[in-house]
């Protein structure tokens, strides 16, 4: 008998299986903790942003509506913003301080687990809280800067691009007008592709950008109904930065500029070059140093930039000269067409202004030789570093220039939450408003 037990004790052939069985549940639990708590963290981050926006939307009613109506508005805005079901979250402890124009609220949500179910952990509770002050809390100047490069006159939708390409213009860009040419539509002749596109009812990317600006003006009207705290200025970015409208509390004056063909903001005009090193230097002077927002003479400053982010000039197409100012030889102009150097945005940010960037996505146009010879080429064979002085890691040298644009523009923005990438007209219009709301959340959130 002793020999039997001794042999059993000496036989370790099943040890691995036994050990694995013993540690399997703890291992799965550890993995579950990582995955499920990551999900809970993401839900919490989204909830926090939703609650901030809900309070920001409701705070302007303090003093003009009773507490019950304001609380209802908070709940309605939160419900509209969040994709959580009503049965799975609670929004409570909403407090309205009319005297100080403040609202506080908290929300909780139960996140169902997945892997943690094996440890009998069915859910994880998350909670957020927010406190905002009313619009009278700070003075703010908003500088809206539109990229006026010719590429912004690309038709805004695939259907529009196809329609314009199949037209007498044979091009998806409204900027590509040949001198002396005429374009026919419905038996009428037009001297520019822009006029043709307008007659065809085709919306261009600049048109979409202006719609987005209008949304921001509406938000300013709503946030500062007395037009006493928030000023808005309009600017174009091309060969340099041009002030179209100095900061003013009159949003009606801004709207008028947006529809004026001679003001240079709309799709009636474009520029032959986008020199962000020049335009950001000029914009620095136009914006000036930001203040703390406590007085009208010392306002906070937000720069909202709508751009496709490409440092370029038109002369590279024909290769007939060394360009307007690109410092390369005739044979290498195409390498100069790159994403902007994000360090140039520091000219403005270093003055204390916040910079929010809406990237109106430069879609790949692989059927166009010009795209394939510039943005379709890799960063490694561009002059992003050697001419424009930007830092580029070796891991990004094989990335196409088009694919690298959002990386550069995200670094241009003051923070990740002040950068958005938008493609469709709806995304562009909603994106700029979202950036403005995100900034308001930053400067007016108390805790």
292 lies in the same domain as 403: yes
90, 278, 295 from 346: Cα distances, Å = 42, 13, 25
Domain boundary pick from 82, 101, 133 = 133
**Whole-number average pLDDT of the chain:** 83
Q: Are 155 and 204 in contact (CB under 8 A)?
A: yes
188 lies in the same domain as 208: no
161 lies in the same domain as 218: no
Helix H or strand E encompassing 8? helix 2-10
| Residue 271's CATH number | 3.40.50.410
pLDDT (mean) for 110-122: 72
Structure tokens at 366: 């692989």
Strand 102-112 relative to strand 89-97: parallel, antiparallel, unpaired?
antiparallel
295 lies in the same domain as 334: yes
Torsion of CA 257, 261, 264, 268, to 10 degrees: 140
User: Is pLDDT above 60 for 17?
Assistant: no
In a domain, 307, yes or no: yes
In a domain, 418, yes or no: yes
Q: Are 445 and 131 in contact (CB under 8 A)?
A: yes
User: Is pLDDT above 90 for 289?
Assistant: yes
297 lies in the same domain as 187: no
User: Is pLDDT above 70 for 179?
Assistant: no
Q: Are 293 and 443 in contact (CB under 8 A)?
A: yes
In a domain, 79, yes or no: yes
**CA–CA dist 253, 217 (Å, integer):** 11
Write down the pLDDT at residue 149. 86
279 lies in the same domain as 426: yes
Q: Are 103 and 71 in contact (CB under 8 A)?
A: no
Write down the pLDDT at residue 362. 85
Length of the chain in residues, anyone? 447
* Domain region containing 171: 157-203
pLDDT (mean) for 151-175: 80
In a domain, 7, yes or no: no
Q: How far apart are the first and last CA of the chain?
A: 74
User: Is pLDDT above 70 for 330?
Assistant: no
Taking Cα atoms as reference points, which of 436, 400, 395 lies closest to residue 417? Answer: 436
In a domain, 10, yes or no: no
What pTM does this model have? 0.72
Most confident of 33-47, 123-137, 158-172, 173-187: 158-172
161 lies in the same domain as 146: no
199 lies in the same domain as 210: no
User: Is pLDDT above 50 for 345?
Assistant: yes
Burial grade of 292 (CB within 10 A; 0-12, 13-18, 19 or more): exposed
In a domain, 9, yes or no: no
User: Is pLDDT above 60 for 19?
Assistant: no
Q: How confident is the model at residue 41 (pLDDT cuts 50, 70, 90)?
A: confident
Domain tally, the chain: 3
195 lies in the same domain as 302: no
Q: How confident is the model at residue 5 (pLDDT cuts 50, 70, 90)?
A: very low
In a domain, 183, yes or no: yes
In a domain, 330, yes or no: yes
- The position carrying tokens 């909202």 is 304
179 lies in the same domain as 241: no
Q: Are 435 and 441 in contact (CB under 8 A)?
A: no
Q: Are 302 and 223 in contact (CB under 8 A)?
A: no
**CA–CA dist 97, 103 (Å, integer):** 6
Write down the pLDDT at residue 205. 83
Domain boundary pick from 99, 133, 167 = 133
208 lies in the same domain as 197: no
pLDDT (mean) for 185-212: 87
- Dump pLDDT digits (tens) for 392-443: 999 999 999 999 999 999 999 999 999 999 888 888 888 998 899 888 877 7
Taking Cα atoms as reference points, which of 210, 58, 82 lies closest to residue 148? Answer: 210
220 lies in the same domain as 239: yes
**CA–CA dist 115, 121 (Å, integer):** 9
**CA–CA dist 361, 405 (Å, integer):** 9
User: Is pLDDT above 70 for 135?
Assistant: no
- Dump pLDDT digits (tens) for 259-282: 898 898 988 788 888 999 999 999
Helix H or strand E encompassing 413? none
Write down the pLDDT at residue 50. 82
Write down the pLDDT at residue 306. 94
E strand map for 34-116: 89-97, 102-112
User: Is pLDDT above 70 for 349?
Assistant: yes
């Amino acid at each position: 008998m002793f020999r039997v037990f001794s042999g059993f004790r000496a036989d370790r052939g099943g040890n691995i299986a036994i050990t694995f069985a013993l540690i399997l549940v703890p291992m799965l639990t550890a993995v579950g903790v990582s995955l499920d708590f990551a999900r809970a963290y993401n839900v919490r981050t989204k909830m926090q942003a939703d609650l901030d926006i809900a309070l920001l939307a409701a705070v302007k009613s303090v003093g003009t509506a009773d507490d019950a109506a304001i609380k209802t508005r908070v709940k309605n805005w939160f419900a509209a913003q969040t994709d959580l079901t009503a049965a799975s979250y609670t929004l409570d402890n909403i407090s309205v301080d009319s005297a100080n124009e403040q609202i506080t609220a908290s929300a909780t949500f139960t996140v169902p687990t997945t892997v943690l179910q094996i440890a009998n952990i069915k859910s994880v509770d998350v909670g957020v809280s927010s406190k905002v002050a009313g619009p009278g809390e700070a003075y703010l100047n908003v500088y809206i800067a539109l990229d006026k490069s010719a590429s912004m006159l690309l038709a805004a939708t695939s259907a529009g691009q196809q329609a314009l390409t199949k037209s007498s213009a044979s091009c998806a860009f409204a900027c590509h007008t040949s001198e002396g040419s005429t374009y026919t539509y419905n038996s009428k002749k037009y001297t520019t592709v822009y006029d043709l596109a307008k007659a065809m009812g085709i919306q261009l990317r600049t048109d979409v950008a202006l719609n987005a600006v209008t949304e921001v003006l509406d938000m300013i009207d709503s946030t500062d109904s007395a037009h006493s705290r928030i000023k808005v200025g309009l600017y174009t970015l091309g060969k340099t930065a041009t002030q179209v409208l100095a900061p003013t509390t009159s949003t009606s004056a801004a709207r008028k500029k947006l529809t004026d063909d001679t003001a240079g903001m709309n799709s009636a005009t474009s520029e032959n070059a986008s020199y962000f090193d020049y335009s950001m230097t000029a914009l620095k002077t136009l914006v000036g140093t930001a203040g703390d927002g406590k007085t009208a003479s010392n306002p906070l400053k937000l720069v909202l930039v709508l751009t496709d982010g490409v440092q370029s000039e038109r002369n590279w197409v024909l290769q007939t000269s060394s360009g307007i100012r690109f410092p390369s030889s005739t044979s290498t102009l195409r390498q100069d067409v790159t994403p902007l150097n994000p360090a140039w945005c520091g000219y403005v940010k270093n003055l204390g202004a916040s910079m929010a960037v809406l990237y109106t996505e430069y879609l790949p146009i692989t059927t166009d030789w010009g795209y394939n010879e510039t943005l379709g080429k890799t960063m490694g064979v561009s002059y992003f570093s050697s001419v424009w002085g930007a830092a580029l890691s070796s891991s990004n040298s094989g990335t196409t220039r088009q694919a690298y644009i959002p990386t550069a523009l995200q670094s241009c923005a003051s923070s990740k939450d002040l950068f958005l990438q938008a493609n469709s007209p709806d995304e562009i219009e909603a994106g700029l408003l979202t950036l403005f709301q995100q900034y308001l959340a930053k400067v007016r959130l108390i805790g």
